[in-house]
Chain A
Amino acid sequence: MQYNWNWSILLQEPYYGWIWSGFSWTLATGCAAWVIAISLGSVIGVMRTTQVPILRTIGTCYVELFRNIPLLVQMFLWYFVFPELLSKDAGMWVKREMPMPEYSTAVVCLGTYHASRVAEQVRAGIESIGQGQRYAGLAMGLTPVQVYRYVLLPVSYRIIVPPLTSDFLGIIKNSSLALTIGVLELTAQTRQIEEYTFQGFEAFTTATVLYIVVTAVVMAMMRVVEKKTAVPGMLSLEAK
């Protein structure tokens, strides 16, 4: 095995700057997509648990549609196909004038994709509470919206903190797919360093370490949140 080690390459410009800019883009893409995923996912998840058949159907279709197409293909659909389906002016705007077209497309794509996963978690959380609380809320004279707002959602969010954490980490990891449409995030930048300098070991090790650090930090933070938000008396959480 022949390889010339040169770890100092990581501290040289422009490579040092590339790594940090890539790292920031990864975090920026992941966090922005997470906002879409959690808000849209909550809506879809709630729709799947309501008593209204049409809402349930829409929710199910959304989840099945986004879950059964590979994320990379969705990325291409959003980037290449979606603008063509719009009216001419709107399509032009998406392609040319929208600020940071690659970044925005990647965020929307990741957000809508992970929304289908969050929706499943939210639904599982609400269903795990059982129908009793819903009926109790309705019997007290709360409207269905109030039942969700004050009874079902606060508890189910606390129950699903652990799966939501792994979804968030999934979104950070999946943000690397944005490189296929030209977002220069962490993986793309290290790939670029490998191509420019042939120092693949050093470049990929850096990316690996940074991803592991993000995972470890998020896990540590969420462990605290998990403890704080644990619902007293829930067996599944006490077992952990």
Chain B
Amino acid sequence: MTSGFDWQVIVKNLPFLWTGMQTTLLLTVLAISGGIVGGTILALCRLSKFSVLSWFGGSYVNFFRSMPLILVIFWFYFLVPIVLGRPVGGFYSVLIAFILFEAAYYCEIIRAGIASVGRGQVYAAQAVGLNYFQIMRYIILPQAFRNMVPILLTQGIILFQDTSLVYVVGLHDFLVTADIVANRDVRLIEMYSTVAVVYFVMCLLGSLGVRRLQRKYAL
């Protein structure tokens, strides 16, 4: 280990780190969107009056919640090429893993959000003659999402941190690009500290923003 904190190595590699950060952000945004869509469908399944659907929703959530994310990433990194019969690249395997994994967590948040909308709303909507999909689309989900925006965003911040786990399959995200520089230039301290500070600042700002939003939009 060469002594002295070398700022130069950070500045010099900023463009490379930025490419990694782009992958991280893209993965985060896609996984959040996919996770929320999947989570909504799962939540509707869990709350459905058809026992097959609610059983499926419940088992799905329990299954994914008892597995470590790393194992899920390994599973899909191995499974997706076999099922499709051709290599698809790490990004897509990992993205599928993240969406399916996060859907289980989003499902629980959305389920609680839907449950927080009063029963009276459903009865009123039924009384004016709306069908199930109309009730969900125009009455329940808009209110539910407003209630759960802060928790959804908090989960998004957790997901943003979790994307660093793609390290285990070597996808070039922010952490891996920093890791490459760290090992190439033997600047472990500089690079890992930079990564930590960047993540810390982004997540702290994110959670402060969520807290402000929470105060502003509370119903």
Contact = CB atoms under 8 A, between A and B. Distances in A.
Interface stretch (A42-50, A73-81, A123-131): A73-81
Contact of B68 (A70, A187, A216): A187
Contacts of A84: 1, 188-189
B71 A204 contact: yes
Interface stretch (A5-13, A140-148, A155-163, A170-178): A170-178
Contact of A71 (B78, B85, B161, B203): B161
29 contacts: A65-B200, A67-B203, A67-B207, A69-B161, A69-B203, A70-B161, A70-B162, A71-B161, A72-B164, A72-B167, A72-B175, A73-B195, A76-B192, A80-B188, A80-B192, A81-B189, A81-B192, A81-B193, A84-B1, A169-B66, A176-B70, A176-B71, A180-B168, A194-B74, A200-B78, A200-B79, A207-B71, A215-B66, A216-B66
B128 interface: no
Given A1-B85, A81-B189, A211 B67 contact: yes
A215 B65 CA distance: 9
A62 to B, nearest CB: 13
A238 interface: no
Given A80-B188, A204-B74, A72 B165 contact: yes
B83 interface: yes
Given A73-B192, A80-B189, A204-B74, A177 B165 contact: yes
A216 B168 CA distance: 27
A179 interface: yes
Interface string A189-226: 01100100000100010011001101110000000000
Contacts of A179: 70, 168
Contact of B175 (A2, A73, A190): A73
A26 to B, nearest CB: 9
A177 B164 CA distance: 11
Contacts of B179: 76
B82 interface: yes
Interface of B: 1, 63, 65-71, 74-75, 78-79, 82-83, 85, 161-162, 164-165, 167-168, 175, 179, 188-189, 192-193, 195-196, 199-200, 203-204, 207
A73 B66 contact: no
**Which one of A65, A187, A194 has the greatest number of beta carbons of chain B within 10 Å?**
A187
Contacts of B199: 68-70, 73
A211 B68 contact: yes
Contacts, number: 103
Nearest to A84: B189
A89 interface: no
A173 B68 contact: yes
The secondary-structure label for the interface of chain B is helix
B195 A1 contact: no
Nearest to B168: A180
Contacts of B189: 80-81, 84
B188 A81 contact: yes
A68 B200 contact: yes
Interface in A9-59: none
Interface residues of A, number: 39
Contacts of B78: 194, 200, 204
Given A179-B168, A215-B66, A77 B74 contact: no
Contacts of B168: 179-180
A64 interface: yes
A47 B56 CA distance: 43
B67 A212 contact: yes
Contacts of A73: 164, 175, 192, 195-196, 199
Nearest to A213: B66
Contacts of A80: 188-189, 192
Given A69-B200, A72-B175, A73-B199, A208 B71 contact: yes
A71 B168 CA distance: 13
Nearest to B70: A176
A195 B71 CA distance: 14
A64 B204 contact: yes
Contacts of A69: 161, 196, 199-200, 203
A199 B91 CA distance: 23
The 3 closest A-B pairs by CB, nearest first: A215-B66, A68-B203, A70-B161
